[in-house]
Amino acid sequence: LIANRILNGMGWAIERAEFAYDIIDQICDSFSAPNLAPSTAVARLYLMNDILHNSGSGIPNVSLYQQGFTSKLPAVFEVYHKL
């Protein structure tokens, strides 16, 4: 069930790559949600991983994910470390 939701989220993000920076902001900002469950944080990391894995697929604008996530990852992992 969780894997399907991650797959669907990744597909949704890849199909909307022209909005990559907005999607990145939403995903990264979600790590600072109050009472974030560790399992939810792990699922979001998997989502980020899947998006990044597909950022070299040649789909227009999808490479923006790699650029955008790179600058945000240190802050995401700092929050994740505190969980």
Average pLDDT over residues 64-75: 93
Long-range (24+ apart) CB contacts under 8 A made by 63-70 are: 64/17, 64/20, 64/21, 65/13, 65/17, 65/20, 65/23, 65/24, 68/20, 68/21, 68/24, 69/24, 69/28
pLDDT tens by residue, 29-57: 999 898 999 999 999 999 999 999 999 88
pTM across the whole model: 0.90
Predicted confidence at residue 1, as pLDDT, reads: 75
